[in-house]
Structures are given as C-alpha cells and as structure tokens.
Amino acid sequence: MKFTVNHQDSRTSARTGVLDTQHGSIKTPVFMPIGTQGAVKSLSPEEVTSLGSNLILGNTYHLYLRPGHKIIERAGGLHTFMNWPGALLTDSGGYQVYSLSRMNKISDEGVEFQSHLDGSSHHFTPEFSMEIQRSLGSDIIMAFDECPIGNADYKTVQKAVNRTTDWAIRCNDYLSKYGPIHDWDQTLFPIVQGSVFEDLRFKSAEALVPLSTCGIAVGGLAVGEEKSAMFEMIEFLDSTLPKKQPRYLMGVGRPTDLVRSVRAGMDMFDCVLPTRNARNGQVFTSNGVLNLKNETFKTDLDPVDASCSCPLCAQYSRSYIRHLLNVNEIFGLRLASLHNLKYYLSLMDTMRAEIERDNFKVWSDDFLKMMSEFKGM
C-alpha cells in the first residue's frame, strides 16, 4: 500500500492524496460507507460503486459472530463473499465489544464478553482480532484497541492508552509472523487513543507512529466528549501525526465535522449517520437536514434537493418519498440511503476540488457559516 499527497492547501492543513491498494486507488479525503455485516444496509455493491465509492468498512466483531470468519475465508475473503470490487477496511471489533456486548471483562490479555445476540461467551485478544481480519482479507486492518467513554477520568484513559500500545505491538508482531492469507497485501493501522488529554494523546501517538507503515487512526473521539474538546484534540494531532501518511478519524461524521476535520489535516472518515438517518426519514441536503416523514412534505412535489443527481432527486418527489417512508416501504429506505450517501460522497468530491484549487479556506468558511443555520449538519 502506498499513500501520496497530491496537493497541500496553503492556508489550512487540508490536503488531497491517493491511497493505492491492490483493490484500487482511493482519492482522499475520503468518506467510507459502513458495511458492518458485509453490506451497506439495503444497497447492492453495484449501487454503492455507482455513487462513486471504492472503499467501504466492514466489522470484525459482527462478521465473527455471523456468519463466521472461517466461512468468509473459504469463500475467498470478504471481497468475494460480498462481491465488492473495491478496497475494504475492517474495524478491529474493539469498540463493539465495549459498546454492544454484555458483561465484558477487560484484562491485559484481551476482552472476555458475552454476545449481544445470544449471550454466548467469547474471548478477543489482539492476536485473535488479527486472525479474523486475515480471514476477512481486508486491505486495511485496524489494530485491537481499548476505547474508553468520552467522560472517562485521567487514570482510566491512561490505562487504556498503555494497553492500546501493548495490544498494537502484539497485533503487529502477529501479522509480521503470519502474513496475509489471501493473495493481496494487508496494512495495519494503529489507533491513537487518549480521549481529551493532550499529554496522553501525544504519548499514544509517539508510541504508535513507529508501527504505522502507511496509515494511522484516531479513535476515542465523538464518544460523549464536548465537541470543542474533540476539535482541540484533532488540531493537536495534526501537528503530531506523520504528514506523509493518511490519518483516519474514526466515527466522526456530520457534514460540518467532516469539513472542519479536513481543515485540520484528517484524510479518512466513516460514520453510520448517512444510512441510519435515512432509515429514520432524515436526508442531508444543501439546505440542511429534512425530516421527510413530516406532514409539511405531504403535498410537496419538488425533488428532495434540486442540486443532487442521485436516483431519488432525479426521479422522485418529496411527497412520494414521504409516502414510502410512512408506509414502511423498503424502497423508500433504499432511496433515502442512496441520497444520503451521494450527498456525503459529493461533499468529499467538492472538498477535494476546492483543495486542489487552493481555495479550501474560503470555501469551508462559507460552507460552515451557511450550515450553522441548520440543525443536524
């Protein structure tokens, strides 16, 4: 895997680049649709590709529980199993173990937990997370980490930082010893932790940068801390993390958050918001978030967003999509999901273009000012 910075904005830390993988080249900044269970909810791989995406995210925890990583390995890896032609990144499963599982018990060895599905007992270690991700065959593998909640105290976060470093070393050692199962390379991204404590963020980054050959992630943000504190950490890490590697900001995903984070030098993003909000009838537009289930759209025959070229906006009205959503017609969920992902991917296209024009400061100032008038953006 190789990362090349193509253009550095002169007035912000925003930059464009290309991340070359054996499953295609990814232009950055990039937003990754979430395919937790091996699919972007309600959408086919062909539809996701048609929106302009060539990198999606899968999840180790969920795919381990169902259908099982060995089944996916026998199928030829997750790319083949789900018929995805592009690149794949898999989360380590650590966040889900802490947030979804019942009665998890964390030790230096790993995490014992009960499945959120049936209560069955399981044990994840850094080595086992790597084993699962080798079976899945993702292009980018996330190190197993401990992610404390946003309001955790200093001692708790300090312990998590130390454990995350030890686990990242074990992940790297395991991959160095065994290598990939499938016929393509896999690259490990260590995850910088430290919550809102600057010294712990620095300590984590300092320890993990030597393990990052072509990318590093920032975890433990957007988990309950104040947004101002989140951006203080992002801006601090801009001066701490390697400039020649892609920086992946995990789980941060409102449109204005993406713009502000790109300004601070972040390159890769994922979030459930586009598809989750779509399933609740909320769509992102150039005029803010619309809740299409509202009565006000019952007779509105305008497109959802006249500036959007997605299938929903090109062919259907607000009134029609409202009807579909209110009668729980799955076609409505699919159209709303297609629209929201198209909005996000188009936003990334626009940001890349403005960075290349060396106009990102002006454009982002205007965008943030305009979107400050709307809730949910």
Q: Dump pLDDT digits (tens) for 307-327.
A: 999 988 999 999 999 999 999
Please check whether residues 292 and 259 belong to one and the same domain. no
**How confident is the model at residue 259, as a pLDDT?**
98
Residue 98 has pLDDT above 80, yes or no: no
Looking at 228, 247, 271, the residue that finishes a domain is: 271
SS3 365: helix
Instruction: Evaluate whether residue 355 is within a structural domain.
Output: yes
Going by pLDDT thresholds of 50, 70 and 90, the confidence category of residue 96 is confident
Alpha-carbon distance 46 to 75, whole Å?
Answer: 19
What pLDDT, in 10s, does the model give residues 132-164?
A: 999 999 999 999 999 888 789 999 999 999 999
Reported as a single tens digit per residue, the pLDDT across 328-345 is: 999 999 999 999 999 999
User: Is 242 in the same domain as 298?
Assistant: no
Tell me the pLDDT band of 103, cut-offs 50, 70 and 90: low
Q: Which two tokens stand for residue 353?
A: 């273009």
- The reply to whether 48 and 122 lie within a common domain is yes
The torsion angles phi and psi of 332, rounded to 5 degrees, stand at -65, -40
Asked whether the whole model's pTM tops 0.95, one would answer yes
The residue from 242, 271, 300 where one domain ends is: 271
Span 196-250, pLDDT tens digits: 999 999 999 999 999 999 999 999 998 888 999 999 999 999 999 999 999 999 9
Indicate whether 297 and 227 sit together in one domain. Answer: no
Residue 200 lies in a domain: yes
Whole-angstrom distance, CA of residue 257 vs CA of residue 263: 10
Q: Which of 221, 248, 271 is the last residue of a domain?
A: 271
Structural domains in the chain (count): 2
Assess contact for 271 and 252: CB atoms under 8 A: yes
Residue 239: per-residue pLDDT? 95
Q: Extract the tokens encoding 232.
A: 């203080």
Same domain, yes or no: 112 and 226: yes
Give the per-residue pLDDT at 135. Answer: 98
Residue 283 and residue 258 share a domain = no
Q: Domain check: are 107 and 193 in the same one? A: yes
Q: Which phi-psi region, left, alpha or beta, contains residue 111 (left: φ > 0; alpha: ψ -120 to 50)?
A: beta
Residue 377 forms part of a structural domain? no
- Residue 64 in any domain: the answer is yes
Could you give the percent of the chain with pLDDT greater than 90? 90
pLDDT at 116: 86
Q: Is residue 94 part of a domain?
A: yes
- The domain in which residue 232 lies consists of 2-271
Torsion angles phi and psi, residue 113, rounded to 5: -150, 165
pLDDT of residue 101: 61
Burial class (CB in 10 A: 0-12, 13-18, 19+), 196: buried
CATH code of the domain covering residue 263: 3.20.20.105
| Backbone angles phi and psi of 290, in degrees to 5 | -110, 135
| Active-site hit among 91, 139, 145, 257 | 91
- Mean pLDDT, range 241-262, rounded to an integer: 97
Which of 9, 139, 270, 305 is catalytic? The answer is 270
Q: Looking at residue 163, what is its pLDDT?
A: 96
Q: pLDDT tens digits for 61-77?
A: 999 999 999 999 999 99
Q: What's the pLDDT score for residue 102?
A: 65
Residue 376 lies in a domain: no
247 and 335 inside one domain = no
> Which amino acid is located at 131 in the chain?
E
**Statement to judge: residues 34 and 53 lie in one domain:** yes
270 annotated active-site: yes
